[in-house]
Amino acid sequence: MNMYLLNKAAACQRELFTRHTKPIDCFHLQQTESGWEAVDRMPFSGRTPRLNKGDSLCLDFGTHWVGYLSFSAQPVGGAADAPAYLRIIAGERLCEIGEDPDDYHGGLGKGWLQVSHLHLDELPCTVELPRRYAFRYLKIEVLDTSCQYGISLSDIGCQAVSAVQEEDAAPLVTDDPFLNRMDEVSLRTLRNCAQDVFEDGPKRDRRLWLGDLRLQALTAYRTYRAHTLARRCLYLFAGLTGEDGGVSACVYTKPTPHADDLRLFDYSLFFVSCLSDYWEATGDTETVTDLWPTAWRQLELAAAELDERGVIRDKDTWWCFLDWNDDLNKQAGAQGVFIMAVRQGLLLSKRFGTPEQQDRLNGWLEIALKGSRQVLWDKHLHLFVSGQNRQISWASQVWQVLAEVWPTEESRELLLRTVEQAPAVGMVTPYMFHHWVEALLSVGLTDLAKQELRRYWGGMLKAGADCFWELYDPTDPDRSPYGSPVINSCCHAWSCTPAYFFRRYPELTENS
């Protein structure tokens, strides 16, 4: 733990903005062939009728919020001669309040589900729920009162919190209503994930992941200009490196800052990318001087994974992320991330490094480019292959293009070939789709990038997204990496990047 760096992270901490929000409608839930639906909608008057044992109430807060819930409860019909016993479920989507949380058997801890059981011992009372919730919908179930009384609830509200305010975002100039809507949802996604740190998702995992940070910060520089928050996150990672100087894939800030044991090859290298993006956005020499040694160390550690052919060694473990597709072989993607990070390291090293570091970076670049071109490139197929079984995937092509292994014209042809051949090993997260769109834009395939934004993020909008999701597979709406869609995060920061694309590449919003 490096206290100098952690103190700098602490100095970047700011009070969160707050805003009071209230339910707009009440409704009933109905399960249909296509999932859960809200029926019998009515504007919510602000006070419930008498609720007795077995009654429940569903509320809609109009859109997605992150914050602290409170309400008042009054006894109706007689004195409260027993505690009122309630179960409250908050959900980002209707399925979360429709499914019984007791039926959840997914791979991640049940504690993430936004359920709480409350005993109201003294009535009337005002209750402030201690947990922070990420939700649009709320279901309140009365498990019991007594035969003598029921309860009525009023003042139901949420103190929403965020490090940024929507009104401070740099406006988007387009008169296309669909793109405006996409931008609005991207900005809300980022707002709701921007808390004490850039969280990956405010429902789950509520922590700072390096891969997510990179895309959040990129978007935040061009929208909310949340430079200090990005700086805080960079200092946290650098202050919490392991004994060998490697950064963790994710860190926690509470009760005190500490790192997770997990390391991911690509995420560690994204420390370099994040620092390079931060430098480009801010020109803040003090911070980059402090953090360059951490960035350099990630490059050194990664370069040690190059084999004698100049290719990053493949592994059987969960060593590199890239996407939530279990079938994906990560070797070629990891190689692409490495080359991209070396290029970014080279730029930083010219200002912050030593001549010796520059020489080593140039050496790694040469070796790794050779490895990609001679070992990973299949001369007959004209595609990159990955791993022992020479797997062909979308992710491998995308990362080799982002690494600029071939000149632009060849890369453009490669991406068009990929579309034509549509490899079976596809992309499933907005995170991987971000890189796909970035690759298309990097070689000038602007129309295709536009189409893909409309198809993929637009698909989430058509499916009713208030915020963009952790995972979206248009061919399988219930797909979950964790065995149950109710645990998926439906406000996930790595999906907020349409707001970045629209501002970085104005050609995307022209004549659309």
Q: How far apart are CA 150 and CA 145, in angstroms?
A: 6
Cα distances (angstroms) measured from residue 353 to each of 91, 294, 300, 345, 356: 48, 12, 13, 9, 8
Q: How far apart are CA 333 and CA 320, in angstroms?
A: 9
Q: How far apart are CA 162 and CA 97, in angstroms?
A: 24
What is the nearest approach in angstroms of ligand RAM to the Cβ of residue 198?
11
Q: Which residue number, 450 or 492, has a Cβ lying nearer to ligand RAM?
A: 492
Tokens for 486, please give them.
Answer: 């109710």
Q: Report residue 407 CA to chain centroid gap.
A: 31
Q: How far apart are CA 365 and CA 310, in angstroms?
A: 9
What is the nearest approach in angstroms of ligand RAM to the Cβ of residue 492?
6
Q: Which residue number, 84 or 341, has a Cβ lying nearer to ligand RAM?
A: 341
Q: Which residue number, 67 or 211, has a Cβ lying nearer to ligand RAM?
A: 211
What is the nearest approach in angstroms of ligand RAM to the Cβ of residue 509?
27
Q: Which residue number, 44 or 209, has a Cβ lying nearer to ligand RAM?
A: 209
Q: How far apart are CA 270 and CA 363, in angstroms?
A: 20
What is the nearest approach in angstroms of ligand RAM to the Cβ of residue 210?
8
What is the nearest approach in angstroms of ligand RAM to the Cβ of residue 430?
10
Tokens for 449, please give them.
Answer: 């990038």
Cα distances (angstroms) measured from residue 348 to each of 19, 256, 258, 278, 344: 40, 31, 27, 11, 6
Q: Is 54 helix (H, G, I), strand (E, B) or coil?
A: coil
What is the nearest approach in angstroms of ligand RAM to the Cβ of residue 250?
7
Q: Report residue 13 CA to chain centroid gap.
A: 21
Place of tokens 């709701």: 192
List, in sequence order, every residue forming a beta bridge with 58; answer none if it has no partner: 27, 139
Q: Which residue number, 204 or 412, has a Cβ lying nearer to ligand RAM?
A: 204
Q: Write the CB contacts of 321 (distance below 8 Å, at least 6 apart in sequence).
A: 211, 249, 264, 266, 267, 330
Residues 246 and 263 sit within 8 Å (Cβ to Cβ): yes
**Parallel, antiparallel or unpaired: strands 35-43 and 258-259:** unpaired
Q: Which residue number, 352 or 494, has a Cβ lying nearer to ligand RAM?
A: 494
Q: Is 141 helix (H, G, I), strand (E, B) or coil?
A: strand
What is the nearest approach in angstroms of ligand RAM to the Cβ of residue 324?
7
Q: How far apart are CA 216 and CA 496, in angstroms?
A: 7
Q: How far apart are CA 222 and CA 461, in angstroms?
A: 22
What is the nearest approach in angstroms of ligand RAM to the Cβ of residue 481?
8
Q: How far apart are CA 79 and CA 123, in angstroms?
A: 9
Q: Alpha helix (H) ranges present in 51-176? A: 94-98
Q: Which residue number, 190 or 414, has a Cβ lying nearer to ligand RAM?
A: 190
| Cα angle: 240, vertex 246, 247; to 5 degrees | 50
What is the nearest approach in angstroms of ligand RAM to the Cβ of residue 159?
25
Residues that bind ligand RAM (CB under 6 A): 200-201, 205, 209, 211-212, 321, 470, 489, 494
Q: How far apart are CA 253 and CA 21, in angstroms?
A: 27
Q: Which residue number, 214 or 231, has a Cβ lying nearer to ligand RAM?
A: 214
What is the nearest approach in angstroms of ligand RAM to the Cβ of residue 265?
12
What is the nearest approach in angstroms of ligand RAM to the Cβ of residue 215?
10
Number of Cβ atoms within 10 Å of the Cβ of 355: 9
Q: Report residue 507 CA to chain centroid gap.
A: 25
Q: Which residue number, 36 or 338, has a Cβ lying nearer to ligand RAM?
A: 338
What is the nearest approach in angstroms of ligand RAM to the Cβ of residue 453?
20
Q: Which residue number, 109 or 124, has a Cβ lying nearer to ligand RAM?
A: 109
Residue 13: burial class (beta carbons within 10 Å; 0-12, 13-18, 19+) = middle
Q: Which residue number, 142 or 249, has a Cβ lying nearer to ligand RAM?
A: 249
Q: Which residue number, 8 or 434, has a Cβ lying nearer to ligand RAM?
A: 434
